Amino acid sequence: MSGAPAIGRIVVAGGSGAVGSLFAERLHHSGNDVIIVDHTVPAPTQNVARFVRGDISDPGAEVADVVRTADVVLLAVPEPVALVAIGRLVGALRPDALIVDTLSVKSTVVPALHAVTTIAGQAEALSLNPMFAPALGFAGHPVASVVVRDGRRGRALADLMEHWGARVVNVTADEHDRLAAAAQALTHAAVIGFGAALAELDVDITDLDWIAPPPHTALLSLLARIASGAPEVYWDVQAANPYAPAARRALARGVSQLADVVESDDAHAFGDLLDRLCGVLGPLRGVYRERSARALRAITTDLTKETVT
């Protein structure tokens, strides 16, 4: 039991998945009555009060019954499922309930939530995006939050996430998608592009692993994480965010700028390019240099331990 006050009965749709199970477990441990609605039975480690097999976007009698009694309905499901569910839950939601989504793109779901809360009277709505892999947990990580319709339950959930150690960052739907295109779509595209280029170079990974400096090892580690992850997660980030195409085009232009400068044998222009990039970091340049140093030292330490072992 945490020291933060419980909210009440919370239905977590998709609670057997990675994001849903993260919320379900933390909410349960915070003293809430958690009910998972999913096609898939939760893992044995998930200690929740109740599991209801069903589809939140096509609720049968049992699913509709638990929704009617819920203080909060949290949708940790793919966008197509969430959008259908939001429309169909209007008649089942309590008038003062909170409905929450965890989608990685907000331009479509936030208007849908706004429409539902307008129809449903006093209902609240909150659109969240945990900006980290669920396996990492909330502590020390940001959760983007679009407050669609404010209320005490939404504020209580935000307080709970901060109690778990998360940093809740309030943004508008457009701000979220614009920032996420840079923070997620651009980053993932850079790592996937790096992997595609590496495949084209056809270098033996064992030889590469032996000779690679720490920054390259860090990129290989990121490539392994993304390439081994759920494709639909990374697909949504690239395909659904309206700002993602501009991010990918900017990445391509950045690589072209580097190629033009080096292939024109202009060392002075290369120095100017790096100076401009330092300007992008602004007053946080020193902070990020130190973070990089700590991360690379950690990688070097791990490599040394592996070699000794």
**Which tens digits make up the pLDDT trace of 157-178?**
999 999 999 999 999 999 999 9
Residue 200 pLDDT greater than 90, yes or no: yes
Nearest to 171 by CA among 193, 201, 197, 142: 142
pLDDT of 120 above 70:
no
What does CATH list as the number for 9-171?
3.40.50.720
Spatial distance between the Cα atoms of 235 and 111, rounded to a whole number of angstroms: 22
Q: How far is CA 294 from CA 121, 171, 223, 297, in A?
A: 51, 30, 20, 5
- On the question of pLDDT at 45 being above 70, the answer is no
Span 15-33, average pLDDT:
94
Cα atoms in the 13 Å half-sphere on the side-chain side of 288: 9
